[in-house]
Amino acid sequence: MLKKIIFQFLALSLIFAYSAQSAESGGMPQLNPEFWISQIFWLVLTFGLLFIILSKFILPKISNNLETRKSQILENIETADKQREETEKKVKEFDKIINDTKVEAKNFFNSERQKVLDDINNKRLSLEKDIEKEIIKAEEEIDQLKKTSQEKITKIAIETSSDLVKQLIGEDINKSSLSAIVEDLSKKEMEKHNGI
Amino acid sequence: MAANPMYQFNVYRIGPEIKINNIDISFTNASLFMVISSLAILIIFNLGTKRSIIPNKIQLLAELSYSFISKMISDTAGSKAKPYFSFIFSLFMFVLFCNMFGMIPYSFTVTSHIIVTFVLAAFIFIGVTIIGFIKHGLGYLKLFVPSGVPMVLLPLIVVIEIISYLSRPISLSVRLFANMMAGHTMMKVFGGFVVSLGIVGGWLPLGFSVALTGLEILVAFLQAYVFAILTCIYLNDALNLHH
């Protein structure tokens, strides 16, 4: 520091000495005091005006611009964050809805299948009952038919045999004796047929 | 006369002689370049104040220089120096534009005159001293008494500190003035060599001249930056007294 100062003083004194020596022969125009006052005056005027205009009008605008940009960027980042969060929430909701619907659909499908199965079962049961009833009825009918058919067969046999006898002999035969014979024969025939 | 490398620093009157109370304040070529620099700064930065979220080129330039100087001030002088931002900004821009306009051939370099730089430096020195005394009262004198110095050395150190403090305006002004003057003189000398050596031998000094122009543009920026940052450092001493 001290070295620098001494050096500067030396340089200054050298400059002054040089200027004093060569003031007439041109030398350094910087050390000619003719326009010093003018330079100071114009420096103060221009620099003062520059400072006033910059500090009052231009710099506040620039700093304002910078501030607004900063706050705008921060705001935008904030809204972007908010929207991202909202999106995540929405995505979660969407997933939840999809899951719920899947479960619901499964449940619905299961219950419907159960219903259909029950229905089919019920219908089958009732159908089976009906069929059994029909079978029983049919069996009864068959039984009855068996009984009635034998009597009818006997009757028809008696009548045909009496007609046959009449045609063969030309005489009426006692019906009761004929019927006894036919019944006896048919019984034998039936036993033979039934394998008894 | 044009061969004299100092001729470019001549100040001459433009227009009529203006005198107030026998004091000459005529408009000179120096005044012209001060006005041009100030107007250029005002125009460029006024174009840079458009309110748009995405800046155009001039706005970007204005905002970059704003944040550059803002960062420089907060780095060197802390947050307390915020109120002096516009002064340092104007100072930096004024010195920078004067230096840069001085790089145009046949123009005049305002900052190559000791009186201009000295007035600026003296204003800064006085301003900083007043700020220091307002902020700390007589405690500002503690600046000259560094802590942790042995008692034996203290008288010497205090004297050195006072001299170094008082030489601040001189060092600040001479640094800028001498840099500008030396650079421009050198370019002029090399230019003279180009002319005197002619087409045969003039190529080497021409190459030097081209290189020097680049160097001088760098120096023009660097000296403006140094001027501003030293102002910040002096301001830091006045605002945050910790020596």
Question: Do the Cβ atoms of B11 and A37 come closer than 8 Å?
Answer: no
Please give the pLDDT value at position B3: 62
Please give the pLDDT value at position B52: 76
Phi, psi angles (nearest 5°) of residue A97 = -60, -45
The mean of the pLDDT values for chain A is 83
Please give the pLDDT value at position A15: 56
Cβ-based contacts of B164 with chain A (< 8 Å): 1-2, 5
Cβ-based contacts of A37 with chain B (< 8 Å): 23-25
Spatial separation of the C-alpha atoms in residues B236 and B228, rounded to whole Å: 12
* Backbone angle region of A195, left / alpha / beta, with phi > 0 → left and psi within -120 to 50 → alpha: left
Question: Do the Cβ atoms of B160 and A1 come closer than 8 Å?
Answer: yes
Spatial separation of the C-alpha atoms in residues A128 and A146, rounded to whole Å: 26
Q: Do A61 and B66 touch (CB under 8 A)?
A: no
pTM: 0.72
Tell me the pLDDT tens digit for each residue of B207-228: 999 999 999 999 999 999 999 9
Among A77-81, B5-9, B189-193, B224-228, which is the least confidently predicted range? B5-9
CB-nearest partner of A39 from B87, B113, B167: B113
Spatial separation of the C-alpha atoms in residues B236 and B242, rounded to whole Å: 9
What do you get for the CA distance between the two ends of chain A, in Å? 152
- Does B67 lie at the interface with A, CB-CB under 8 angstroms? yes
Mean pLDDT of A169-184: 76
Per domain, the residue ranges of chain B are 7-239
The residue assigned the tokens 């899947």 is A102
Cα angle B18-B21-B23, degrees, rounded to a multiple of 5? 55
Q: Which of A6, A18, A62, A74 to mutate to test the interface with B (most CBs of B within 10 A)?
A: A62
Rg value, chain A, Cα: 68
Distance from CA of A46 to the nearest CA of B (A): 6
Phi, psi angles (nearest 5°) of residue B28 = -120, 180
Sign of the dihedral defined by the CA atoms of residues A154, A157, A159, A162, in that order: negative
Spatial separation of the C-alpha atoms in residues A150 and A187, rounded to whole Å: 10
Q: Do A59 and B85 touch (CB under 8 A)?
A: yes
Mean pLDDT of B31-35: 93
Spatial separation of the C-alpha atoms in residues B191 and B210, rounded to whole Å: 10
Please give the pLDDT value at position B152: 87
User: Comparing A49 with B3, which gets the higher pLDDT?
Assistant: A49
Phi, psi angles (nearest 5°) of residue A180 = -60, -45
Tell me the pLDDT tens digit for each residue of A89-127: 999 999 999 999 999 999 999 999 999 999 999 999 999
Q: Do B164 and A38 touch (CB under 8 A)?
A: no
Note the maximum CA span of chain B.
Answer: 68
Q: Do B6 and A29 touch (CB under 8 A)?
A: yes
Q: How long, in residues, is chain A?
A: 196
Question: Which DSSP string corresponds to chain B?
Answer: -TT-TTGGG---B-SS--EETTEE---BHHHHHHHHHHHHHHHHHHHTT---SS--HHHHHHHHHHHHHHHHHHHHH-GGGGGGHHHHHHHHHHHHHHHHHHTSTT---GGGSHHHHHHHHHHHHHHHHHHHHHHHGGGGGGGGS-TT--TTTHHHHHHHHHHHHHTHHHHHHHHHHHHHHHHHHHHHHHHHHHHHHHHHHTHHHHHHHHHHHHHHHHHHHHHHHHHHHHHHHHHHHHHS---
Q: Do A62 and B66 touch (CB under 8 A)?
A: yes
- Does B74 lie at the interface with A, CB-CB under 8 angstroms? no
Give this complex's ipTM.
0.89
Please give the pLDDT value at position A149: 82
Residue B88's closest chain A neighbor by CA? Answer: A51
Spatial separation of the C-alpha atoms in residues B190 and B209, rounded to whole Å: 6
Spatial separation of the C-alpha atoms in residues B64 and B54, rounded to whole Å: 13
CB-nearest partner of B115 from A9, A39, A53: A39
- Does B87 lie at the interface with A, CB-CB under 8 angstroms? yes
Among A74-78, A113-117, B75-79, B93-97, which is the least confidently predicted range? B75-79
CB-nearest partner of A54 from B13, B55, B90: B90
- Does B48 lie at the interface with A, CB-CB under 8 angstroms? yes
Spatial separation of the C-alpha atoms in residues A108 and A104, rounded to whole Å: 6
Q: B30, B239, B234, B40: which is closest to B134 by C-alpha? A: B239
Q: Do B163 and A5 touch (CB under 8 A)?
A: yes
Sequence-distant (6+) residues with CB within 8 A of B191 are B205, B209
